[in-house]
Amino acid sequence: MKIVAIANQKGGVGKTTTAVNLGAALAEKHHRTLIIDLDPQANATSSFGLQAVEQTSLYEPLIGDASIIERIFPTERDALFIVPSDLDLAGAEVEIARMPSHLTRLSETLKPLHADETFDFVLLDCPPSLGILMSNALAAADELLTPIQCEY
C-alpha cells in the first residue's frame, strides 16, 4: 500500500481537485484507492455527495479508539473509497497536540489498513495549513505530492 500526502499550506492550489481526480484515475486503472479527507472544510467529502454525519469522520479514530475501517465509505466509482471529514477535525488539532504521540497519531490510525491489505493507494487530502493534521499526514506518507498554482 502506497500512502500519498497531497499537501500545500496555501489554500486554493488544487489539493482536493488533485486528490479526487488522481483517486478516480487510479480506480479507473483497477487500483483500489482510498481518499482520506483530512481537511475540516470537507470539500473532498462533499465532492462525492456525502454530508457530514455524526461519528462517520476520521475524528474518532484519530482521537479515540474507533477503527478507521469503520469509517470507509464506497463512492459511485468502483475501487474508489473515502473516509469523510467534518468540522470536528478542526478541534482534533488541539486534542492531538496534547497526546504524547502527537506526530504519529495518523500513522497509528492507519495501521489497520496496512494489515488489511485492501487498498493499493491511500491519498491524504490535507488541510491548507501547516498544523498537526498536515504534520501527521507528512509523517505517515510514503510520497508527497504538492500542487502549486501556476502564476505568471
Q: Given pLDDT bands bounded at 50, 70 and 90, which one contains residue 32? A: very high
Residue ranges of alpha helices (H) inside the chain are 15-28, 43-47, 59-63, 88-97, 105-116, 132-140
What pLDDT, in 10s, does the model give residues 42-84?
Answer: 999 999 988 766 558 899 999 988 999 999 999 999 999 999 9
Alpha-carbon distance values, 150 to 143, 146, 147 (Å): 22, 12, 9
Residue 126 in contact with residue 35, Cβ under 8 Å? no
User: Looking at residue 53, what is its pLDDT?
Assistant: 60
Could you tell me which residue, 13 or 65, shows the higher pLDDT? 13
Instruction: Say what the pTM is.
Output: 0.94
Q: In order of start, what are the domains of the chain with their CATH numbers?
A: 2-145 (3.40.50.300)
User: Looking at residue 143, what is its pLDDT?
Assistant: 98
Residue 99 CA to residue 84 CA, distance in Å, equals 23
C-alpha triplet 83, 85, 24: angle, nearest 5°:
50
Could you tell me which residue, 124 or 13, shows the higher pLDDT? 124
